[in-house]
Every structure is written in C-alpha cells, then in structure tokens.
C-alpha cells in the first residue's frame, strides 16, 4: 500500500530535521556520557579525570532554578477593576494549585533546565486531560458532558476531575520544521511510545491492530542494547500551524492514523513554547552546548588530573639499605614513638657511617615540585573555565578574608550579570509554559474546577459576589485580558531576611502614608478621594500587597465614607460654612446669569444688524445688476436697429440698381423689338415672348422686395415695442422681453 501524499509530505519534513540535527544528537550523546562518567573503564581507559562538566552543571542549575516558580497573574492595566482583580486571583491560585499539587511540572522544569546545560535544548509540552466518570459513582463530579446512546438507555457521563499536565519531551523525541529562527517554524512534533492498551484507548481497536509494536526508547549506551524493549509503537504527534490541524502517524504504517482540528485552541496554536536554548545564532536552530565552548580546557584538565594522580602515586618513600643490618628493616616497619631498635656490632655499624652510610632513600624533591606545578596549572585552567561559563568565585564562596564588603558586593554583582541572562531565559521559558497551562485551564476547565482549585469559598464575601463576572472574563481570551509573568528571582533561592525586609518596608510605607493622610482627610473631606487613589497607586507597587488588594480596597472605601462624616462639634460650623458658601454660590450664579443675559441680548442685536446690512447689500447688488442688464439690452437693441437699417438701405439701393438696369434693358429691348418689327415681321412673336418673361421676372423681384420690406417693418416694430425684466427663481434679473407683441 502506497503512502498518501500528505503523509509523504510530513515524512519529508521529519527526514530533513533528522539530517540537520544528526550531528547535534551525536554530540549530545557524548556529552551525556561524559556527564555520567560512562566512559570510565571502557577500552581499558582507567586514567584519572576531573569531571568539570558535572561540577559546572550542578552549580549552574541551582543558580538559575532552585525552586518551583510562582505564577504572577495581574490585570493588564492597573485601573480600578474589581472584576479583573478577582479573575486574576482565581487564575493565579488555580495555577499555583496545579503547579504544587501535580509533580509533573516540577520534574519537567528540572529535566528541561538540565537538558539546556547539557545538550543545549529543553522542551516541555502542555495538554488537556479530562477524567470522565460514569453515572452512579459517588464523587465530586463537575458537569454532565455528553450522552452516549446505547439502545434505549442513555448513559450519562460527567467529569470526575480535569488537569493540564506539562510533559517533558526528551531531546531525541522532539522535532520541528527546519528554520533559522523559532518564529519561522511551521510544524512541531514529538514521538510518543505507546503500549497496546494505550493505542486501543486512543485510536480504537481497528486502528491499533494495524500499528506495529516494534519500537521503544533508545538507550544511551551501546552496551545496554540488550536491555532495550521493542514492545511499543512509536507514534508521531505533529502540529501544523499552516493547516491548524494535528496529525498522528508512525513510520511503519502507510497512512495517517488520525487528524483533528485545533484541539486546544491556543493563541499560538503550538502546545509547546519556545524551547529553552543554550547558544543560538540567527541562521540555525541547532543549539551549541555549553561544554563545546570549553571542551579543550576540560581535556587539559583531565590530562593534568591524570598527571597529578601519577605523581601522587609515585610520591612515597623508597630506598635501599645494608642487608648485613636487618635491624634497619625493622626500623621502617616496627618503629613506633620513642622506640629503639637494638643493633649488633655497633662499632662496625658506626664506623660505616651509621644510618647515613647504611641506607639511601629516593629523592622526593623533584616529584614534589612537579606536583605543585601541576596543581597550579590545574587551578589556572579551572579559572579559564569559570570565566567561560560565568561561574565567579563569589558564587563558590572563594573570597579572601581580607576583602571588604564592598569588594565582595562588586564580585557578586559581576557574577549576577553573567548569570542574569540565564536566569531570565529560564524565567521566560517557565512563563511561556504557565501561559499555555493558563489558556488550557481558562478555556477548557469547567467553572467548578477553577473555583475548587482556587478555593473560592475562602475569599471575602465582596469578592465572591464578583465570581460570575470573573469567570466570564477568564473565558474571553485570557492572554489578552491578563498578564502572566514570572520574575527571575522567584526561581532562585532567596534569603528569608530579604523577604522579611521587603514586607517591613511595605508596612512602614503604608503606615507612614496613613499617618499623614488621615489628618488631611479629616480636615478637608473633599481631599479624601484623591488621597484614596494615591494610596492605591502606592500599594500596587508592592508585590506583597497583591493578596491584600481586596481587603485594602474595602478598608479604603470605608475610610473614604468615614472621612465624609464630620464630628458633632465641627458639624454646626461646617453647616454654617456650607450655607455661606451656598449663598455666595447663588449670588455668583445670579450675577453670572445677568451677565449671560446681557451678553445674549447684545449678541442678538449684533446678529440683527448684521442681517440688515447683509439684506441691504444684497438689494443694492440686485439693483446694480438690473441697471447693467437694462443698459446691455439698450445697447444690443441699438446695435440691432443699426444693423437692420443698414441692411434695409443696402437692399433698397440694390433694388433700385436692379430696377434701373431693368428699365434700361427694357427700353433697349423695346427699341430693338420695334426696329425688328418694322423690318421683319417674322420675329415679332419671339420678341413678345421675351418681353413677357422679362416682365414676369421684374414682377417677381418686386414681390420679393415687398416681402423683405414687410419683414424689416415687423422687426422694427418689435424693437420699438415696450420691454419688461425677466427674473429667475432667486429673484434676480436674468433678461428682458417685449410686451404686447404677438409672436
């Protein structure tokens, strides 16, 4: 059976990760062996070593993470919001219960911090785990979740309890899409080893029967290969941000086992935050373990430790003695305090030089000097390693007694600077993990579970009245409404005296402010609201006051109410002062009313004058426009009359010319016709015909001239007729027209 295209896509993504991180996994495996000292005794290697890796890790882990984190849930803005304050308390107390009650968070944080200092990457995974109990079991069930139909009977199920576990993900079992930075990652996954029963419970019997049980967690050492178990299935749980879906598959099955839409509905989609990294660069997410940065110095340290071991073994008394004096051997083996060994033939023994002449020891000065040099060289190399790792002498307590307190404080600050970034990284990792847990609890948990975890019944009655609104606020995108932080110092073991000092500082500041504010409030009650707001503003700066905010708000409100009630002795004076003040206020109000009335009259008068001036100006403009239109019309009429008269004169002159020419032609033709008639009688009819045509033409021209003159006469009468002005819709003149002339 061929694998689906979707499965092949994700298998390629997994394969790319394996190729890119293969070298890192092999390096991490060697570092773990060195940390556990598993290389000792293998291949005949019995040389002495100095396990500086174990020493540094055991020193740095408590320096950056020494106790469980405390969730710090506050309102995103410090405004007066009692509902937000109660919701913050509920979520913070529920988170503290989850962290302290279930051991998974403690072990997960410890393993992740340890992976950060060994392999360079620690990963944690958040999930939602409801435990459903069938009906009929006597427990504190929280809510009915669903009805499962079985024949005619419906089996009701209810949540027994629910939690949001944080799983530790082994550095071999985590993967992500290849990217340069964490923000570019689009898929994350983890490999889970499941038994047959777990497969059936999760995927059903039909799917579980197809999954091969041939995998198991890989051992660290090769000689433990025989102890490896191969009775589990290796399932990949992959979260794809691009499709917003979760896929389950294994390499031995050519199909995806299960697909689900975003099950947790987290704002960042991924159920894991940014891993806890060691050294990273912006071009790769393959971490660089800390040990790689000082492994050369660690090898030199091992060589010197082995040399020191050899010199120490060689540094013992060795020599030769005269065999003729067996008492010398007894002197080295049986000699005790104040013990004398008898010697035979003393005279001969003394003549040979006594002990100096009978025994000769191997010199130890050279060995001792070499041993001291090795010790000094090893100390120098340790100093180099401490400079690389940031472990200062103040942390290990190696300070000189002659140093002043200021000098030791400077050393401590320098060491804190080197470790501060590590502490902040761990705090940020824990904060992201708790944010994921808070989202799961706020969106998936039943309200009864949150109230039970937060011990809401122990809250004040005033706060309990706000719980329904607070629960609704928690369900509405908790990361948008709340800020969840973890201070770096909350992960480090602090001095109890410092905590006491901070509490005393808060009490002194609060008491001093009350001592100064109460007399002012009694003397001037209107100042009480401002004093109360100032007090709330100052209290919010102290972290120790957050559990007391509800009680403080109630006490401050009561103080504000009490401050508003004067004592009996000052009540009469206060009432009289109030009466005088009210009288002055009434008089001032009357005076202000008079001034306002006069101002309104003046304003109305000014507006009336302005309106009158505007109307007159508009009337004058209309008159000017009318005169201009009349003048333009007269000018146009004069021009038109002149043009018509000129045209009439021109036509009359032309007509006269035509008539004169016609009369002259007629006379010539008549004379010619008469002459022709007398000489030749045959041409008389043609001349008569020509004469009649000429006469018809003349009569036609006379008719046209008459019509033209009639039209000119009518136009002149129209121009001489009386005119009137034509106005538009706005009343302004737009033209003129003749009166009494039919069109």
* Distances 475 to 440, 481, 588 between C-alpha atoms, Å: 10, 10, 54
476, 87 in Cβ contact below 8 A? no
The residues facing 245 across adjacent strands are: 240, 261
Mean pLDDT, rounded, for 420-427: 86
From CA 458, how far away is CA 366, in angstroms rounded?
76
677 Cα distance to chain centroid: 128
Residue pair 37/55 in contact by the 8 Å Cβ criterion: no
Share of the chain above pLDDT 90, in %: 22
DSSP assignment letter at 353: T
* pLDDT of 143 higher than 50: no
pLDDT of residue 164: 92
User: Whole-angstrom Cα distance, residue 235 to residue 659?
Assistant: 126
Distance CA 191, CA 215 (A): 11
Smallest CA-to-CA distance from 120 within 19, 221, 252, 25 is with 25
Work out the number of other CB atoms within 10 angstroms of the CB of residue 463: 22
pLDDT at 678 over 60: no
Rounded to whole angstroms, the Cα distance separating 247 from 257 reads 8
Comparing 343 with 397, the larger pLDDT belongs to 343
724 beta partners: 737
Is residue 442 within 8 A of residue 96, CB to CB? The reply is no
Q: Determine the pLDDT at residue 256.
A: 92
Which residues are registered as beta bridge partners of 121?
Answer: 277
The SS3 of residue 285 is strand
* Rg of the chain, C-alpha, whole Å: 56
Rounded Cα gap, residues 284 and 120, in angstroms: 13
Least confident range of 66-75, 132-141, 439-448: 132-141
Q: To which H or E segment does residue 57 belong? A: helix 52-64
Residue 692: phi and psi, rounded to 5, are: -65, -35
Q: Which helix (H) or strand (E) holds 129?
A: strand 129-134
Q: For residue range 192-223, list pLDDT tens digits in order.
A: 999 999 999 889 998 888 888 888 787 666 55
pLDDT bin (cut points 50, 70, 90) of residue 585 is: confident
Pairwise CA distance, residues 321 & 357, whole Å = 9
Give the C-alpha separation, 480 to 76, whole Å: 8
- Report, in this order, helix, strand and coil percent for the chain, each rounded to 5: 60, 15, 25
The residue among 525, 516, 512 whose CA lies nearest residue 559 is 525
Higher pLDDT, 304 or 625: 304
Nearest to 276 by CA among 67, 65, 17: 65
Q: Say how far apart CA 36 and CA 525 lie, in whole Å.
A: 71
Residue 367, pLDDT > 50, answer yes
Cβ neighbors of 157 (< 8 A, separation 6 or more) are: 132, 133, 134, 135, 144, 145, 146, 147, 148
pTM: 0.63
191: tokens are: 């490999």
Higher pLDDT, 363 or 332: 363
**Helix (H) / strand (E) containing 451:** helix 447-453
Q: What is the mean pLDDT of residues 118-145?
A: 72
Lowest-confidence range among 264-278, 322-336, 648-662, 689-703? 689-703
Find residue 306's DSSP bridge partners: none
Report pLDDT for 465. Answer: 87
| pLDDT higher at 719 or 355 | 355
Angle among Cα 732, 738, 741 to the nearest 5 degrees reads 150
**What is the per-residue pLDDT across 515-529, written as a single tens digit (0 to 9) for each?**
777 776 666 666 666
Confidence of residue 139 (pLDDT cuts 50, 70, 90): very low
pLDDT, residue 151, reads: 44
Helix (H, G, I), strand (E, B) or coil at 123: strand
Q: With left for phi above 0 and alpha for psi between -120 and 50, is residue 712 left, alpha or beta? A: alpha
Q: What is the 3-state secondary structure (H, E, C) of 701-719?
A: HHHHHHHHHHHHHHHHHHH
Average pLDDT over residues 395-399: 49
């Amino acid at each position: 059976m061929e694998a689906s295209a979707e499965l092949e896509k994700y298998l390629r993504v997994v394969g790319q990760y394996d190729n890119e991180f293969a070298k890192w996994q092999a390096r991490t495996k060697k570092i773990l062996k060195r940390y556990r000292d598993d290389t000792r005794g293998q291949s005949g290697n019995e040389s002495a070593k100095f396990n500086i890796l174990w020493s540094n890790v055991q020193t740095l882990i408590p320096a950056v993470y020494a106790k469980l984190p405390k969730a710090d849930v506050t309102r995103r803005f410090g405004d007066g919001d009692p509902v937000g304050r109660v919701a913050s308390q509920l979520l913070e107390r529920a988170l503290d219960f989850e962290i302290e009650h279930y051991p998974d968070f403690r072990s997960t944080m410890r393993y992740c911090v340890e992976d950060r200092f060994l392999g360079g990457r620690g990963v944690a995974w958040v999930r939602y785990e409801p435990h459903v109990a069938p009906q009929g079991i006597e427990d504190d069930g929280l809510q009915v979740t669903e009805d499962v139909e079985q024949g005619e009977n419906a089996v009701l199920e209810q949540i027994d309890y629910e939690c949001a576990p944080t799983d530790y993900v082994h550095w071999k079992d985590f993967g992500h899409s290849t990217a340069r930075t964490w923000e570019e990652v689009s898929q994350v996954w983890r490999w889970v080893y499941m038994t047959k029963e777990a497969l059936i419970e999760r995927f059903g019997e039909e799917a579980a029967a197809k999954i091969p049980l041939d995998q198991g967690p890989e051992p660290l050492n090769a000689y433990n290969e025989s102890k490896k178990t191969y009775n589990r299935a290796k399932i990949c749980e992959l979260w794809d941000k691009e499709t917003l879906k979760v896929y389950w598959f294994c390499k031995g099955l050519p199909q995806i086992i299960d697909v689900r839409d975003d099950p947790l509905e987290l704002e960042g989609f991924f159920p894991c935050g940014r891993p806890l990294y060691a050294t990273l660069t912006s071009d790769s997410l393959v971490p660089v373990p800390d040990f790689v940065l000082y492994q050369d110095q660690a090898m030199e340290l091992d060589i010197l430790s082995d040399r020191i071991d050899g010199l120490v073994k060689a540094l013992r008394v060795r020599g030769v003695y005269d065999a003729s004096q067996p008492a010398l051997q007894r002197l080295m083996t049986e000699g005790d305090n104040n013990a004398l060994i008898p010697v035979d033939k003393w005279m001969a023994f003394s003549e040979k030089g006594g002990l100096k002449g009978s025994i000769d020891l191997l010199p130890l000065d050279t060995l001792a000097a070499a041993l001291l040099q090795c010790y000094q060289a090893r100390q120098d190399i340790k100093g180099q390693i401490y400079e690389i790792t940031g472990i200062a002498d103040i942390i290990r307590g190696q300070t000189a007694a002659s140093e002043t307190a200021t000098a030791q404080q400077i050393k401590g600050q320098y060491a804190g600077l080197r470790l501060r970034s590590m502490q902040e990284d761990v705090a940020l990792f824990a904060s992201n993990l708790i944010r994921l847990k808070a989202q799961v609890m706020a969106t998936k948990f039943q309200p009864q579970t949150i109230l039970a975890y937060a011990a809401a019944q122990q809250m004040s009655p005033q706060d309990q009245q706000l719980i329904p609104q607070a629960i609704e606020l928690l369900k509405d995108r908790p990361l948008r409404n709340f800020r969840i932080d973890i201070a770096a110092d909350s992960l480090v073991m602090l001095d109890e005296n410092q905590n006491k000092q901070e509490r005393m500082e808060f009490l002194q500041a609060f008491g001093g402010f009350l001592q100064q504010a109460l007399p002012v409030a009694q003397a001037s009650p209107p100042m009480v609201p401002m004093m109360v707001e100032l007090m709330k503003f100052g209290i919010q700066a102290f972290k120790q006051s957050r559990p007391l905010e509800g009680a403080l708000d109630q006490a401050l409100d009561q103080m504000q109410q009490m401050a508003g009630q004067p004592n009996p002795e000052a009540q009469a004076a206060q009432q009289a002062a109030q009466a005088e003040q009210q009288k002055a206020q009434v008089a001032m109000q009357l005076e202000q009313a008079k001034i306002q009335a006069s101002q309104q009259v003046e304003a109305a008068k000014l507006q009336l004058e302005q309106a009158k001036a505007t109307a007159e100006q508009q009337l004058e403009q209309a008159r000017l426009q009318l005169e201009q239109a009349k003048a333009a019309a007269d000018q146009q009429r004069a021009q038109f009359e002149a043009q018509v008269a000129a045209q009439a004169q021109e036509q009359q002159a032309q007509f006269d010319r035509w008539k004169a020419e016609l009369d002259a032609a007629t006379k010539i033709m008549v004379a010619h016709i008469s002459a022709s008639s007398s000489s030749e009688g045959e041409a008389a009819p043609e001349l008569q015909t020509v004469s009649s045509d000429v006469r018809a033409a003349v009569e036609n021209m006379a008719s046209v001239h008459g019509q033209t003159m009639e039209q000119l006469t009518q136009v002149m009468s129209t121009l001489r007729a009386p005119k009137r002005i034509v106005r538009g819709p706005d009343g302004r003149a737009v033209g003129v027209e003749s009166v009494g002339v039919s069109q």
